[in-house]
Amino acid sequence: MIELHCRPPHEPSTHIGIGSGVMRTLASETKGRRVFALVDSIVAARHPEILAAHWTVTCVQAGESLKTLAQAETVLRAMARASIDRNGLLLAIGGGTVGDLGGLCAALWLRGIECWQVPTTMMAMVDSAVGGKTAVNLPEGKNLVGAVHPPARVFVDPSLLDELPEPEYRSGLAEAVKVAIGIDAPLFEILEQDGENVRARDPATLERTIHRALAAKATIVASDLREDGPRRLLNLGHTLGHALEAVSGYREPHGLCVARGLHFALDVAESLHAMTASDLDRCRRLLSQHGYLRTPLPPTSEILGFMRRDKKVEAGVVHFVVPTGIGSSCVRGLSPDQLGAVLDRR
Ligand SMILES: NC(=O)c1ccc[n+]([C@@H]2O[C@H](COP(=O)([O-])OP(=O)(O)OC[C@H]3O[C@@H](n4cnc5c(N)ncnc54)[C@H](O)[C@@H]3O)[C@@H](O)[C@H]2O)c1
């Protein structure tokens, strides 16, 4: 098993274990604790063996519609009926939607109890399970109600990905490609040189990919838990990505929108002369090698409407993450008009 730690100063730290079979240790690791397990119903049906007899288990149907205040209330009331006390533990077993809802309920219950994340999708394994961002959506926008509540432990078992549908796998892989382009050159090399094994979900390649992506995220989060500085780099591809998700009514998977946003971020880098032609070419080739194409975009005015309302816009300036080389990026303040001009040139 590979072990990582995420230790933001003056904040609780997260222990991360990555390896095939780590799921099977959950029952013994939670022995003697009062456990409330929020579990993706698909995962519960396929892997009933991981659910320990001493847990209170609530199964939920994953998806964006799970991330509502009404669902949070349902879970919190189930925690009340299960008499979860301050020493209790919330286990969130599922993809990013189960993890986001579970993490928020752990943050709210009795003003905060311990949370362990057990990611079961590629998205959750390479990204959402680590970092402590939790949230539900409002009709007015995504992730508007949330808390920062880092999990004490994260159990990453890549063997769970065997039966993950291909679109969900590709959505999560896009977040790894984001880290490769913007933060971690060794991950770029794995995805570039071992692309076939990545797409075939070869267990050893998956483990290396998830390890590099999470190590990069843990380092950044440890230096900036509340996203005042370097953590913004993790938003590479997300300015356009979030706008495309909104335009699609949140029906388009998050990661696929981010992947389209990565193409756009490279276009912005090109327009600012922030990257060499050969690095630009390598990044664009990596995206298309993994099937992330430069698909046609909705009208610029519609995209800009959503970009202007994004949480990352301050005083009319978009904090835009610009790739600057293989595994490197920076944040630049750009106006919506500057971004609109690049969109119009596509
Ligand atoms: N908190 C963060 O830092 C953060 C970061 C990135 C994304 N997110 C959030 O994550 C969410 C998306 O997460 P997601 O892509 O995991 O979606 P998801 O939780 O909806 O899961 C996708 C689908 O995969 C199924 N599934 C889960 N595990 C499976 C398995 N092992 N085998 C087969 N099917 C399985 C689910 O039932 C669901 O149908 C979004 O709401 C996004 O905002 C949060």
Could you give the domains of the chain? 2-163 (3.40.50.1970), 166-345 (1.20.1090.10)
> Tokens in use for 197?
């094994």
Residue 258 has pLDDT above 90, yes or no: yes
Q: At what angle are helices 336-345 and 300-308 packed, to 10 degrees?
A: 150
Question: Hey, which of 128, 163, 179, 232 would you mutate to test ligand 1's pocket, going by the most ligand atoms within 8 Å of its Cβ?
Answer: 128
Ligand 1 atom with minimal separation from the 100 CA: 1
Quote the CA–CA distance of 66 and 30 in Å, as a whole number.
Answer: 26
pLDDT at 141 (0 to 100) = 85
Angle at 37 between CA 35 and CA 39, to 5 degrees: 170
Number of Cβ within 10 Å of residue 76's Cβ equals 15
User: Which tens digit of pLDDT belongs to each residue from 325-342?
Assistant: 999 999 999 999 999 999
Top pLDDT among 127 and 315 is at 127
Mean pLDDT of the chain: 95
Q: What is the mean pLDDT of residues 176-192?
A: 98
Residue 176 has pLDDT above 90, yes or no: yes
pLDDT at 307 (0 to 100) = 87
User: Which tens digit of pLDDT belongs to each residue from 29-46?
Assistant: 999 999 999 999 999 999
Does residue 126 contact residue 31 with C-beta atoms inside 8 Å? Answer: no
pLDDT at 308 (0 to 100) = 84
pLDDT at 260 (0 to 100) = 98
Percent of the chain with pLDDT over 90: 92
Q: 62 CB less than 6 Å from ligand 1? A: yes
Q: What is the mean pLDDT of residues 117-138?
A: 97
Residue 69 has pLDDT above 90, yes or no: yes
| 133 is an active site residue | yes
Q: 63 CB less than 6 Å from ligand 1? A: yes
Q: What is the mean pLDDT of residues 128-149?
A: 94
| 111 is an active site residue | yes
> Which of helix, strand or coil describes residue 157?
coil
Residue 346 has pLDDT above 80, yes or no: no
Question: Hey, which of 98, 254, 311 would you mutate to test ligand 1's pocket, going by the most ligand atoms within 8 Å of its Cβ?
Answer: 254
pLDDT at 131 (0 to 100) = 97
Q: At what angle are helices 254-271 and 238-247 packed, to 10 degrees?
A: 130
User: Which tens digit of pLDDT belongs to each residue from 145-165?
Assistant: 999 999 999 999 999 999 999
pLDDT at 54 (0 to 100) = 96
Report residue 109's pLDDT band, with 50, 70 and 90 as the boundaries. very high
Q: What is the mean pLDDT of residues 261-271?
A: 98
CA 338 to centroid of ligand 1, rounded, Å: 33
Q: What is the mean pLDDT of residues 193-199?
A: 96
CA 62 to centroid of ligand 1, rounded, Å: 7
Name the maximum alpha-carbon separation found in the chain: 61
Does residue 105 contact residue 94 with C-beta atoms inside 8 Å? Answer: no
Residue nearest to atom 39 of ligand 1 (CA): 62
